[in-house]
Amino acid sequence: MSFHPDTSVLQRGPQETPPTVVGRPTRIVIIGAGFGGLAVARELGNTVLEVTVIDRRNHNLFQPLLYQVATAALSPADIAEPIRRTLGRYKNIRVMLAEVTGVDQTARHVLLEDGAPVAYDHLIIATGSEYNYFGHDEWRAVAPGLKTIHEARLIRQRLLLSFERAELSQDATEKKALLTSVIIGGGPTGVELAGAIAELGRYMITRDFRKLAPEDFRVILIEAGPKILAAFPDELTDYAWHELAKLGVDIRTGVRVENITRGSVQTSGGTIPAGNILWGAGVKASPAHKWLGLEAKMGGRIPVGPDLQVEGTQGIYALGDTALRIDDEGKPLPALAQVAKQQGEYLGKALREQLLDGRPSEPFHFHNRGNTAVIGRHAAIFDFGNRRLKGRLAWLLWAIVHVFLLVNFEKRLLVTVQWLWRYVTRQRGARLIDENAATGLPATTHRSET
């Protein structure tokens, strides 16, 4: 299929901004409806600009709480909302459910897997990231990551099924393997999963299962580097290690994963039979750089300038996990939700002021509002750079921040009520197993750990 240039769009130099076209609204296309994409869309809402938001899913997802769906603390609907509902009040925004396959920069079209190309004057790429299996994509089926509702529900099914099967098992070795969860990767996601699974498992064994013993239940956290939570100061890392150990988590640093099969993890320290294997060992940007014919940079991210425009392109911007932006200290901005949201708000305001008022924008500057991770009940850490928090106060602040970041008041209220109920009763309300999910649990091996 070939495309012809849109003659209404003038030719420009590589760093110039496409002009507003006389006779029709300026067309802005946003690919991705995560933190960054939604922030841009909201800033451009209810203006004379023609905005199109394209996403391959029909919902936006609050990924920082996805681990709580995986561990039966919340339901998917608590942290997700249809994009059409989120943006429905903006009359100038169109939402499309579609898979993007490329970008024709000459014709200024976004190419879709199904459907006609979508024309743009300004293009914003906010497609996020995915887990990096470092050349072993075959591991994905047996060691799912945690980026989507489907993956969270799959992990939850496997966790709950492993307890049910262990209750029925007459073989002590098999029972122990079924009750072993291995989390690969000692970053915030791995730490949060390890703590949540440890709390869930010990609660269920104590309260709900009659033939399972607490000593057979194990959560093993594997990290190839010398310490967990490598981005945090040693003081907070040591605290997190201590709190995880109190929950019974077996932390193994300096251990490399060599192979993953159905029911076992082979590491540099031996083979671990496991009923549940979860991946959190690193992420890479979506393959959006391929759409633009660019060479992949650090983690597949797209280099952008001070105004978030993709280097060497005309009117194409990238933000969030997709973008590689170097800060004033010469370091890349981290792949965090707060970065994506701030970039989205900045870019939306900048385009609005530029296109509607003719005002130039200042360069983007990131304001760090703290990096955080939660370990368990009453245990969390916060790093503000020049100030650090840990323990109960950090845990309370973590909860307040995450509730505030949810997409609307309804979600904030739902999550708050469920957290309060869970805090008082210690009950997990989303412990449902699909009756067709029994085949989703990987078989365990009966080899002893070496």
Which amino acid belongs to residue 171? D
CA–CA gap between residue 134 and residue 122 (Å, rounded): 33
Beta carbons of 228 and 193 less than 8 angstroms apart: no
CA–CA gap between residue 96 and residue 109 (Å, rounded): 15
Q: CB-based contacts of 115: which residues, under 8 Å, 6+ apart?
A: 96, 98
Which amino acid belongs to residue 69? V
Q: CB-based contacts of 17: which residues, under 8 Å, 6+ apart?
A: 122, 315, 354
- Closest to 449 (Cα-Cα) out of 184, 217, 270: 270
Could you tell me the two tokens for 167? 């209750």
Helices in 95-233 by DSSP H: which ranges?
149-168, 172-178, 188-207
CA–CA gap between residue 191 and residue 233 (Å, rounded): 15
User: Tell me, what DSSP letter sits at residue 353?
Assistant: I
Q: Is 192 a catalytic residue?
A: yes
Q: CB-based contacts of 415: which residues, under 8 Å, 6+ apart?
A: 65, 74, 78, 79, 402, 403, 406
End-to-end CA distance of the chain: 57
120: left (phi over 0), alpha (psi -120 to 50) or beta: beta
Q: Which of 50, 81, 174, 192 is catalytic?
A: 192
Q: CB-based contacts of 149: which residues, under 8 Å, 6+ apart?
A: 59, 61, 66, 69, 76, 80
Residue 382 burial (CB < 10 Å; 0-12/13-18/19+)? buried
Residue 41 burial (CB < 10 Å; 0-12/13-18/19+)? buried
Task: Kindly list the catalytic residues.
Answer: 192
